[in-house]
Amino acid sequence: MAKVVAEKLATKHKEVSVAEFFERNRHLLGFDNKRKALLTVVKEAVDNAIDACEEAKTMPEVKVDIIEMSEDRFRVIVEDNGPGIVKKQIPNIFAKLLYGSKFHTMKQSRGQQGIGISAAVLYSQLTTGRPAKIVSKISKTHEAHYYELHIDTRTNKPEIVKEEAIKWKKDRGTKIELDIEASYQKGDQSVDSYIRSTAIVNPHVTIVYTNPKAEQFVMARVADNLPREAKAIKPHPYGVELGILLKMVRNSDSRSAQSFLTNEFSRVGPGTAKEILFKSGIKPATKPRDLALPHVEAMMKAIKDTKIIAPPTDCIVPIGRELLERGLKKEVNAEFYSSVSRSPQVYRGIPFVVEAGIAYGGEQPADKSAKLLRFANRVPLLFQQSSGASFKSVVQTNWRSYGMNQSGGSLPQGPITIVVHLASVWPPFTSEAKEALAHYPEIIKEMKLALQEAGRQVGIYVNKQKRAKQEQERVNIFENYIPEVAASLSRITGKNKEGIVKNMRTMLKKSKEFIEANKKTLKGETDE
Amino acid sequence: MAKVVAEKLATKHKEVSVAEFFERNRHLLGFDNKRKALLTVVKEAVDNAIDACEEAKTMPEVKVDIIEMSEDRFRVIVEDNGPGIVKKQIPNIFAKLLYGSKFHTMKQSRGQQGIGISAAVLYSQLTTGRPAKIVSKISKTHEAHYYELHIDTRTNKPEIVKEEAIKWKKDRGTKIELDIEASYQKGDQSVDSYIRSTAIVNPHVTIVYTNPKAEQFVMARVADNLPREAKAIKPHPYGVELGILLKMVRNSDSRSAQSFLTNEFSRVGPGTAKEILFKSGIKPATKPRDLALPHVEAMMKAIKDTKIIAPPTDCIVPIGRELLERGLKKEVNAEFYSSVSRSPQVYRGIPFVVEAGIAYGGEQPADKSAKLLRFANRVPLLFQQSSGASFKSVVQTNWRSYGMNQSGGSLPQGPITIVVHLASVWPPFTSEAKEALAHYPEIIKEMKLALQEAGRQVGIYVNKQKRAKQEQERVNIFENYIPEVAASLSRITGKNKEGIVKNMRTMLKKSKEFIEANKKTLKGETDE
């Protein structure tokens, strides 16, 4: 019998490995063009390095070297003093996409999905054919391991080109070296700018960076302690979707529906669990695996109808008002700084904190648009500015009331730099390249409140400064008229003109001193 | 010995399945919100249905039903008369992400990556917990197979809830039924609008669509033949990247470098292969697997230095000028239509064709922005309009010279609908949701040329129409003055006034006829 069409077509169907998929769609991961590729490679390596150090409670010291090998070809070397990686994990971590420790853990970290660094390795292999070179050492008494790795894109598995134990002077840490096709430029979206911005929101990190022009920048830490450690949390019932709840029920080891709820969710105590089960018509002793779809649907509905307190927020670690300001001072030479760290909020069951900072005046141009620095989990976001939530919240804030110019739908104009930081267990990015935050109303609302709070302080400063300027002008006018006024007074009172001039100058001096003192108080109020 | 930090951390590392990844990041696949989710589900199912029919050389008849089950919950049923799917492939095709026939084939199709329909199944499961229900039959003599499927997201493998052989009245075809959380609205980005737009660029397709308001729309085909079949091509040397070339060399079955080049690339004959190998310093008889990285680098360089003719273009199937216009006429009630189908071009070694159409006047509002309909491989793009290449090319075209108003950086204003279609083996989308085309200069350039060509025809019509209107006005003025002019002439010549009036009216009548005839010619030129 002749084959029917479907039988002929069936032979063509096959699996696509995730590595092949991203190899072809590399622009989805931030490898659209040569310039961005350089930044993306550095960013993924540095983010991983800092995450690793923090997990090991080590003050991060990261060394970044970019060497120009030939036209369009660069070598990127990133080295950290983190915990190192055990031998058998090295190939998977660097040469397998979707492999990592952070996807299944609910706590704030820079990395999330286990794609970033292996995507950088994939890009390197695609554009130069060179293997990634890794060195890692986990303690003084262990040997260092050296690997040369490729990714077998048909299977998304590591291909080990070379492995050996070597001597490494470091006690512990990891080093990665990648050759890539790239181009280097200075400016807003450059590696230089990424490194500087990273230093602002990571005051506890030291970065030593050598760019392709062989210029070395040392960003020394300005904080002496690590940020508080982020604690992993369980999901909050309000954030769970029906399909996920169903999966949790099926895979649960708990003995009863009651213990399922109290064990696997945050903020569900015995009382809350009972209430949910009562409302869903499920007996507390029911075994989770005996719950069918209608039960789980009822449970879902009951959760929505039950008051449950907000999730704990020790899974997120904001930078803090003071450190944010200190970081901003290190970067921007301004005359006035203000910063705000809001209290935690929740969207889709996920806790988050918004922080904002403003640097006003100084050497910043008054006739240009404000500079906006966006961050998520302490990582600078350099692309897709206008499509993200941070931009939207700045644009929707009324900057005129704080003394800035602003036309509809634009950033304010004036000598200011604005920082917006979102810290969260799961920042909602608009793409795998993690370039912008999605427009969640809860997040935009918090960002606007933070900007208003920081903006008001700037507004007060700007207005006081205006008043002081006006007073100064009045004093200057008075000074110019002293000889004339003194002459008139001398004629009227018959007193000596020189004496009157002298008295008036004394009065003026006191008045000036008062204005100066006032100015200092004004600054002192906010410098602390 | 106590464990070092790295050893403790090592236990946390694990694989993330691609299904888990997209389950959490469902917004990347077009499931950002309930409204868009409905469209995305319909779109993936309809795109697959039409692709399948075309592959089996069957005139596509697609039935789409959307039923409102309760608030926020809808049932989507899409049925086609395609080739059907063999039993053992059904679970993988619908319940495994990154599985398909199109990723590894270089020819134009709607689907590409093997994600779309299984992503719809994933979304259904996540929001309603219901399995996908599939019926498929491959011929009159075969049984139909019925499946209920889930995706095991931890492994990205199908989980078969139910399977049985059933009777189905159809000779062959496939039907999918999904319950999803969604919301239904009319308007620009609605399912209704997607279905209408699909009919415009697929004049050979019949769609019978019943929306949740139980309104049925029948879009009957206006073309009697299937589009020419797209032929799969081999990659063109100019589009290959170093890493890919390396992979091809390693996996090659060819016996020599010479036959490797002629077998695995398009447009490389023995002469071209010899030239490339001579320039790279590789002996033609060298076995591909003996080629090391430096050889492949040399080959890469030699390819760039060798003149190779453009790739064949039978891998793409444009709609064609005439059918595009017929489709546009079906949808937009205008007074003038123009359309253009450009000749094939190449970007990154990938062939593409740009087509454009314009409908002018009629019932379209003159004081609003032009309506832009964007398509890629005959699929309407409804989201992210302003971030795509089509929008950019329209905005960068000077519409004033074609009689439209336009301010900088905006769509033109006037009573027009503009269609832009890109047909390509691999349209460069900006995200997995395939909502907008990336800004490739080669593509934008072609789009602008197509728009200019179609725009000029509209410009000629608009100007002729203006002149005709002026002439008409002159005629009208003349008519009003006939009695007065006749009286004066009668006084001067002494002839009878009524006679003069009669003569003048006859003259006028001829003149009017001339103008009318002129108008018709004007239309006729373009109606054909």
> Residue holding tokens 């790295």?
B6
Higher pLDDT, B472 or B159: B159
Report the C-alpha gap between A138 and A86 in whole angstroms: 7
Q: Which residue of B has its CA nearest to A137?
A: B6
Against a cut of 0.90, is the pTM above it?
no
Q: Is B101 on the interface with A (CB under 8 A)?
A: yes
Give yes or no for residue A517 having a pLDDT over 80.
no
Report the C-alpha gap between B185 and B248 in whole angstroms. Answer: 48
pLDDT mean over B297-315: 93
Chain A residue with minimum CA distance to B1:
A141
Q: In this structure, what DSSP letter does residue A50 have?
A: H
A431–B125 CB contact, under 8 Å: no
Inspect the interface and report whether the beta carbons of A20 and B103 lie closer than 8 Å: yes
* Chain A residue whose CA is closest to B96: A15
Model pLDDT, residue A489: 79
Tokens of B259: 């036959």
CA-based torsion, B498, B500, B505, B506: positive or negative: positive
Shortest CB distance from A16 goes to which of B25, B93, B114?
B114
B526 pLDDT band, cuts 50/70/90, is very low
Whole-angstrom distance, CA of residue B375 vs CA of residue B377:
7
CA-based nearest residue to A50, from A83, A75, A74: A83
CA distance A5 to chain B (A): 6
Contact yes or no for B243 and A93 at CB 8 A:
no
Name the pLDDT band for A525 (thresholds 50, 70, 90): very low
CA distance B101 to A357: 51
User: Considering only alpha carbons, which residue of chain B is nearest residue A103?
Assistant: B16
Question: At B521, is the pLDDT very low, low, confident or very high (cuts 50, 70, 90)?
Answer: low
C-alpha distance from B471 to closest chain A C-alpha (Å): 45
Which residues of chain B lie closer than 8 angstroms to A105, CB-CB? 12
Are B55 and A89 in contact (CB < 8 Å)?
no
Quick check: A528 pLDDT over 80?
A: no
Mean pLDDT of A100-119: 88
Cβ neighbours around A217 below 10 Å, total: 14
Has residue A44 got a pLDDT over 60? Answer: yes
Instruction: Give the chain A residue nearest B431 (alpha carbons).
Output: A28
What are A296's two structure tokens?
A: 């789980």
Rounded distance, CA A434 to CA A124, Å?
19
Backbone angles phi, psi at B287, to 5 degrees: -75, 135
Contact: A103, B25; criterion CB under 8 Å: no
The residues that bridge with A345 in the sheet, in sequence order, are: A352
Average pLDDT over residues A454-483: 87
Token pair for A338 = 């203000």
Burial pattern B267-301, b for ≥16 Cβ within 10 A else e, equals bbeeebbebbbebbebebeeebeebeeebbbbbbe
- Quick check: B166 pLDDT over 50? yes
Closest residue in chain A to residue B33, using alpha carbons only:
A440
Is residue A211 within 8 A of residue A193, CB to CB? The reply is no
Nearest to A148 by CA among A163, A138, A158, A136: A163
User: What pLDDT score does B448 carry?
Assistant: 97
| Nearest one of A360, A354, A350, A329 to A341, comparing CA atoms | A354
Question: Residues A300-305: contacts with CB within 8 Å, 24+ apart?
Answer: A300/A240, A300/A242, A300/A245, A302/A275, A302/A276, A302/A277, A302/A278, A303/A237, A303/A238, A303/A240, A303/A276, A304/A238, A305/A279
Select the residue from A3, A11, A15, A384 to test the B interface by mutation, using most B Cβ atoms within 10 A: A15
Residue A498 CB partners (closer than 8 Å, separation 6+): none
- What is the average pLDDT score of chain A? 91
Number of neighbours of residue A463 by Cβ within 10 angstroms: 12
Any A CB within 8 A of B477 CB: no
Categorize the per-residue pLDDT at A520 as very low, low, confident or very high, splitting at 50, 70 and 90.
Answer: low
H helical segments located in A56-189: 90-95, 116-128
Residue B122, sorted as left (phi over 0), alpha (psi -120 to 50) or beta, turns out to be: alpha
A12: nearest CA partner in chain B: B101
CA distance B259 to B252: 10
Give phi and psi for B495, each to the nearest 5.
-80, 165
Per CB-CB distance under 8 Å, the chain B contacts of A14 are: 99-101, 104
Residues 145-164 of A with CB under 8 A from B: 153
Check A6 against B243: CB less than 8 A apart.
no
In terms of C-beta density within 10 A (0-12 exposed, 13-18 middle, 19 or more buried), how is residue B523 classed? Answer: exposed
Measured between CA atoms, the residue of chain B closest to residue A142 is: B4
A116 touches chain B (CB under 8 A): no
Chain A positions in Cβ-Cβ contact with residue B4 (cut-off 8 Å) = 83-84, 138-139, 142, 172
Which residue from A12, A16, A243 is facing B113, i.e. has the nearest CB? A16
Please, is B77 exposed, middle or buried when counting C-beta atoms within 10 Å of its C-beta (0-12, 13-18, 19+)? middle
Q: Is B293 part of the contact surface with chain A (CB cutoff 8 Å)?
A: yes
Q: Which of B75, B268, B9, B224 is nearest to A174 (CA)?
A: B9
The complex's ipTM works out to 0.84
| Structure confidence by residue, pLDDT tens digits, A327-382 | 888 888 999 999 999 998 888 778 999 999 999 999 899 889 999 999 999 999 99
Concatenated DSSP letters for B2-22? PPPHHHHHHTT-EE--HHHHH
* Interface contact B104-A16, CB threshold 8 A: yes
Half-sphere exposure of B467 (CA within 13 A, CB side): 9
Q: Is the pLDDT of residue A71 over 70?
A: yes
User: Closest by alpha carbon to A41, among A163, A130, A146?
Assistant: A130
Mean pLDDT over A183-206 rounds to 91
CA neighbor of B218 nearest in space, from B330, B382, B337, B371: B330
Please give the helix or strand (H or E) that residue B77 lies within, else none: strand B73-80
Of the residues B15, B80, B161, B171, the best mutation for testing chain A's interface (the one with the most A CB atoms within 10 Å of its CB) is B15
Structural contact between residues B121 and B94, judged by C-beta atoms closer than 8 angstroms: yes
Look up residue A222 and give its two tokens.
């300005």
Residue window 325-364, chain B: list those with CB within 8 Å of chain A: none
- Start-to-end C-alpha separation, chain B: 89
Residue A514 tokens read as: 């008062």
A492 interface with B at CB cutoff 8 Å: no
CB A323 within 8 A of CB A330: no
Looking at beta carbons, which residues of chain B come within 8 Å of A138?
4-7
Cβ within 8 Å of A, B 43-62:
55-56
The whole-number pLDDT of residue A473 equals 84
Cα–Cα distance, A128 to B35 (Å, whole number): 44
Tell whether B69 lies on the interface with A, counting CB pairs under 8 A: no
The answer to whether A99 contacts chain B (CB < 8 Å) is yes
Asked if A293's CB is within 8 angstroms of B5's CB, the reply is: no
Q: Pick A241's closest partner by Cβ from B5, B86, B127.
A: B127
* pLDDT tens per residue, range A233-266: 999 999 899 999 999 999 999 999 999 999 999 9
Residue with tokens 């007073």: A471
CB proximity B501 to A under 8 Å:
no
- B92-110 per-position pLDDT tens digit: 999 999 998 888 888 889 8
Beta bridge partners of A216: A210
- A27/B428 touch (CB, cutoff 8 Å), yes or no: yes
Average pLDDT of span B85-98: 95
Question: pLDDT tens-digit profile of B339-380?
Answer: 999 998 888 778 999 999 999 999 999 889 999 999 999 999
What distance in Å separates the CA atoms of residue B484 and residue B500, rounded to the nearest whole number? 11
Compute how many other C-beta atoms are within 10 angstroms of the C-beta atom of residue A98: 21
Among B425, B236, B446, B429, CA closest to B315: B425
What does the buried/exposed string (b/e) look like for B360-379 if buried means 16 or more CB atoms within 10 Å of the residue's CB? bbeebeeeeebbbbbbbbbb
Distance (Å, whole) CA B103 – CA B97: 12
Q: Which of B247, B295, B426 to mutate to test the interface with A (most CBs of A within 10 A)?
A: B247
Closest CA to B432 of A433, A244, A386, A243: A433
CB spacing of A10 vs B297 below 8 angstroms: no
Tell me how far the alpha carbon of residue B375 is from its chain's centroid. 3
pLDDT tens for B139-152 read 999 999 999 999 99
Asked whether the beta carbons of B54 and B60 are under 8 A apart, the reply is yes
Contacts of B20 in chain A (CB under 8 A): 103
**How far apart are the C-alpha atoms of B280 and B468, rounded to whole Å?**
66
In angstroms, what separates the C-alpha of B196 from chain A's closest C-alpha? 29
Q: Is the pLDDT of residue A527 over 80?
A: no
Flag whether residue B468 sits within 8 Å of chain A, measured between CB atoms. Answer: no
Tens-place pLDDT, residues B207-225 = 999 999 999 999 999 889 9
Which residue matches tokens 């602390």? A528
Residues 382-401 of B with CB under 8 A from A: 387
